[in-house]
Amino acid sequence: MKKLRSFLPYALILSAVVMFMVSCSKDGEPGPAGAQGPAGQNGAQGPAGPKGDTGAKGDTGVANVIYSAWLDVPFAADTQHLPGGVIDTVGWYGQIAVSKLTADMIGKSDVKVYINLNTPASPQVLALPFYGSFSLFNILVPGGIILQSNVRIGTVSVNGTKYQQYRYILIPGGVAARSVIDWNNYDVVKAYLNLVD
């Protein structure tokens, strides 16, 4: 009986609290909302999340890669004047204007140049420099690319179809170092950058 007497005051207090709470609301529904309190302070910034999948466009930074369309590049004779008025052709050259290629970028960037030996519909693309049945290489200068060859390999048009067009890709410093792309394999580069011929 002693145990019941010591429990009885707690049971009565609990019943009173429950009845008080139920009687405070109308038809068992909550009362109106109170005024909004002041906004709290912003917390510290959390750590950066993991790098997401960037898909076929490759790693972050590829958006900074600059590339041209396929360009028509005429070649001219590279000559030297010899005694007796003789003019000797020592090679052939072409030029591609690249306004974004500055002196600073030449030292910090990679520039890839490609030639499509065949037609746009049936490409046969080589990365420069190329040494084989002929030699073809590029020299970077502020504002452009100079192409040099031992054969005349400028763009030509045969029956309205173009052959021997050129394309350049300017890769700012840091982009190539973060990727495992083989910039000398045009098919891989084309897929990596989603290039359209």
- 28-76 pLDDT, tens per residue? 555 667 677 677 677 677 666 554 433 333 344 466 788 899 999 999 9
SS3 (DSSP) at 22: helix
- Pick from 119, 153, 118: nearest CA to 134: 153
Contacts of 57 (CB under 8 A, 6+ apart): 63, 192, 193, 194
- Pick from 103, 125, 121, 99: nearest CA to 183: 125
pLDDT value of position 59 = 43
Q: Does 14 score more than 80 pLDDT?
A: no
pLDDT value of position 142 = 94
In this prediction, residues 98-125 reach a mean pLDDT of 92
Question: Of 14-23, 67-76, 117-126, 183-192, where does mean pLDDT reach its minimum?
Answer: 14-23
Helix locations, 58-119, DSSP H: 103-108
pLDDT value of position 1 = 46
pTM summary value: 0.62
What is the average pLDDT value for the chain, to the nearest integer? 78
Where along the chain do its domains lie? 58-193
Residue 189 near residue 70, CB atoms below 8 Å: no
- Tokens at 31, concatenated: 């009362």
**How many Cβ atoms are within 10 Å of 31's Cβ, its own excluded?**
8
pLDDT value of position 88 = 84
Question: Of 18-27, 67-76, 179-188, where does mean pLDDT reach its minimum?
Answer: 18-27
* Band of residue 86 on the pLDDT scale cut at 50, 70, 90: confident
In this prediction, residues 7-11 reach a mean pLDDT of 52
